[in-house]
Chain A
Amino acid sequence: MTMRFTPALFFVAMVALGGVAYAHHGSASYRQEPTTLKGVVTRVNWGNPHTLLFFDYKDAKGEVQHWVAEANAASTISTTGWTKTAIKDGDTVTVVFYAAKNGQTVGRVGKVVLADGREFGDGSLIGDRPSVCDDEFTTGGNEAAACRPGGRITNNDQQR
Chain B
Amino acid sequence: MRTHLTRAHSSFGGIATVVLLLASAPHAAFAQNAERDKPSGPAPVHDLWGMWAGPNEGLLSNRVPMMTPAGRAKLDANIPDPFSASSNDPWKTCDPFGMPRGVNNQYGLFGFAQMPGRIIILNAFNRTWREVWMDGRKVPQNIGHEGGPSAMYNGYSVGHWEGDNTLVVETVGMDERTWMDRRGYPHSVDAKVTERYTRIDFDHVSMTETVDDPAYYTQNPFLFAKQDYRLVANQVNLNAPIPFTSDRLCIPSQASDYLKLIGVPADIDSATGQKK
Query: What is A's interface to B at a CB cutoff of 8 Å?
Result: 25-26, 28-30, 45, 47-50, 52, 68, 70, 73-75, 78-79, 81, 100-102, 104-107, 125-129, 132-142, 145, 148, 150-156, 159
Contacts and interface: CB of A to CB of B under 8 A. Distances in A.
B181 A159 contact: no
Contact of B61 (A47, A73, A126, A137): A137
Given A48-B251, A137-B226, A153-B62, A74 B246 contact: yes
7 contacts: A26-B83, A26-B262, A49-B250, A79-B241, A101-B271, A136-B63, A155-B64
Nearest to A28: B271
Given A79-B239, A140-B183, A152-B183, A30 B66 contact: no
Contacts of A50: 258, 262
Contacts of B270: 29, 102
A127 B53 contact: yes
B96 interface: no
A142 B62 contact: no
Interface stretch (B23-31, B35-43, B74-82, B129-137): B74-82
Interface string B48-68: 000001111111111111110
A136 B247 contact: no
A101 B271 CA distance: 9
A159 B66 contact: yes
Contacts of B83: 25-26, 49, 142
B267 A102 contact: yes
Contacts, number: 163
Given A75-B246, A106-B265, A127-B108, A47 B251 contact: yes
B62 A29 contact: no
B266 A106 contact: yes
Interface residues of B, number: 57
Given A29-B267, A135-B62, A155-B65, A142 B81 contact: yes
Contacts of A154: 64-67, 72, 75
Contacts of B255: 48-49
A25 B272 CA distance: 10
B84 interface: yes
A156 B67 CA distance: 7
B55 A128 contact: yes
B141 interface: no
A138 B60 CA distance: 5
Contacts of B159: none
B10 interface: no
B257 interface: yes
A141 B108 CA distance: 14
B111 interface: no
Contact of A127 (B65, B238, B263, B265): B238
Contacts of A105: 265
Contacts of B262: 26, 50, 52, 68, 70, 106
Contacts of B200: none
B250 A52 contact: no
B276 to A, nearest CB: 12
A26 B263 contact: yes
A160 to B, nearest CB: 11
A138 B58 CA distance: 8
Nearest to A154: B64
B80 A138 contact: no
